[in-house]
Structure 1
């Protein structure tokens, strides 16, 4: 039997991210201890099998998996998964409480977390054992009930050492990412914050702004909403308090990108307003749309492949139990691998449209198999 990569890991904060990290570690046989200021979150995380509590159960009748764990045994790593406003304080406390352990976090902003940790740990030991981390995965849902052991599988995990970070601490956080199924990407805290401002924080604000327009829309108009609108607005359902903290902590790069995006939106609006003034305005509008299409093509696809290597095959799916399973079985029997899948259920219809994304080379075989099994392929 393979030895676990860590003897013991303490996870402080049993929300979505902390509990998912704990579940992923338990999947690899790592002993995990859990802490959370909210007894309810702790009970749920323990009941999910994420670890055992460091703090005592609220009452002897609670199903928390036993009493508090003994902290006298060595701890290899501490993972801090608390809200951004509390990161610096909790990281500094963890460095003092666990003097032999590397300490990391799963916060969305790294420079502010490092500065806060320095402020709180300046007179204490072990800042060289702190290495920031940020798994690029999550959900618009929150809390331990939304946690999953496979949340990080195949996802990037930013590892953000500072100038004083010890190599063994960096290696521990790198190993944490790999143990949780992710692939580590090393960046400085500042580089990380610039990157996530574009790939995470700006999309959150854009999604929120579009979703906000729906609050005054006529109900009859919303009936027409398709998958495009749902895709754009899905992440707007995130926790407003959490996102207020995240955006405030990374305010400067996010504000800069918002101004740039706003300038581009104003340009598009101006071109639409002057569309009757000649071809110049339409050409400028077309250039804006083409630039967006070019940007999308730059995004890496599955396994790092370019997205243009995959093609969508739309299939009409009857709204009956077992139909999706039958479709997947027919595709698998044809020897075709589904790279991605999207489902669009239109209101008041007894069917949905499933987009099966497959490698371009397999499209002919897939179409033949679908026709053989009587599937209605659109497009």
Structure 2
């Protein structure tokens, strides 16, 4: 790949252009907003000049409702030899492209699963897609050359390619992206009704849960509407669980002790299923497949004081433990403790503990 065009210089489009430019690809920036193009170009994402000949690939990074029309227009203008997009909804976009008569042999649907709560070219980063999944949704009419070019794009952005059919993609992102975003927004909206003193008490938990709610409302309304068919059934099932939890809490707030026992069981069941679901995803978000944790073995000699000192040193390193395995015989002189950590924590924690005199394996 030598040349590319990025149509839409928002967060995703500019981040792609930055990644490509950093790998030696000439990126041409196109947007209806000239200021957005100027900012992206000033950040080194590419050139605002139109290409003199069709580029190797055009990345369409506009809202889902504009994707098909933009592809049709750019194909008519012969902008590129291959086209892909970054919309988080694939079935509707593909159907609209067919309806507009787009050449789908040169088209590969795409969706990089990365982003930030901020939008626009100023928020863009060349490493935004590092080790994150990037779904490609080729259809039976997609040409081999087009798919290979899209795979090259994913590789140049240091992402992890995943091939899915468009309907499978839409059901997946409804579950792991669109539903969580909607729930974050609904939760954050409750803060508008809270007293000032309550809002000031909000800590990391509330900030983590509501982080994505800061995203562009118009863009997300467009996304959710485009994937309504996959999202609506999930929301209906979630509503049933919310009704179960609300009913259980209402009974627990009552005075009759008999219904309270059943209500506590219902509430516990909802929470247990949440624990089970959470266990199915990686302990830390990185986009790539979940990697097993690393166990560091640290000799503490079985002494309580040494174990306490070890935990103090871990705390000083400001690195999180996933779990801890204590020795079978605490009193044994060569007792070792197993520190279970995420793979990316293993090296810095090892170095930090060794610098404090611990023998770490």
Say whether the fold is shared (TM-score over 0.5).
Answer: yes
- For normalisation by structure 2, the TM-score amounts to 0.80
Q: In the alignment, what sits opposite 1:45? A: 40
CA pair 19-268 structure 1, distance change in 2 beyond 3 A: same
Gaps of 5+ in 1: 1-5, 54-67, 312-326, 341-355, 374-379
Structure 1 segments of 4+ aligned residues over 4 angstroms from their partners = 306-311, 337-340, 356-373
Q: 3-state DSSP class of the match of 2:4?
A: strand
Deviation at 1:127, TM superposition (A): 2.1
What is the rounded CA distance, in whole Å, between the counterparts of 2:264 and 2:197 in structure 1? 31
Instruction: Tell me, yes or no, if the aligned pair for 2:137 and 2:166 is still in contact at 8 Å.
Output: yes
Q: In the alignment, what sits opposite 2:171? A: 194
| 1:268-307 → structure 2 map (5 Å cutoff) | 268-275=245-252, 276=257, 277-301=259-283, 304-305=289-290
Deviation at 1:281, TM superposition (A): 2.1
The answer as to 2:52 corresponding to 1:71 is yes
The answer as to 2:70 corresponding to 1:94 is no
What is the rounded CA distance, in whole Å, between the counterparts of 2:61 and 2:98 in structure 1? 18
What is the rounded CA distance, in whole Å, between the counterparts of 1:363 and 1:16 in structure 2? 31
Q: 3-state DSSP class of the match of 2:20?
A: helix
Q: In the alignment, what sits opposite 1:239? A: 216
Deviation at 1:280, TM superposition (A): 2.4
The answer as to 2:71 corresponding to 1:104 is no
Q: In the alignment, what sits opposite 1:178? A: 155
CA pair 310-147 structure 1, distance change in 2 beyond 3 A: farther
CA pair 36-338 structure 1, distance change in 2 beyond 3 A: farther
Q: 3-state DSSP class of the match of 1:304?
A: coil
How many residue pairs get matched?
Answer: 315
Aligned with residue 15 of structure 1, among 4, 7, 10: 10
- For normalisation by structure 1, the TM-score amounts to 0.76
Instruction: Tell me, yes or no, if the aligned pair for 1:95 and 1:130 is still in contact at 8 Å.
Output: no
Q: In the alignment, what sits opposite 1:133? A: 110
The answer as to 2:189 corresponding to 1:227 is no
Higher alpha-carbon Rg: 2
Instruction: Tell me, yes or no, if the aligned pair for 1:130 and 1:165 is still in contact at 8 Å.
Output: yes
Q: In the alignment, what sits opposite 1:117? A: 97
Deviation string 1:2-45 (CA, Å, 9 cap, x unpaired) is xxxx1111111111111000001011111111110000000001
Instruction: Tell me, yes or no, if the aligned pair for 1:297 and 1:306 is still in contact at 8 Å.
Output: no
Deviation at 1:331, TM superposition (A): 5.0
| 1:314-353 → structure 2 map (5 Å cutoff) | none
Instruction: Tell me, yes or no, if the aligned pair for 2:281 and 2:290 is still in contact at 8 Å.
Output: no
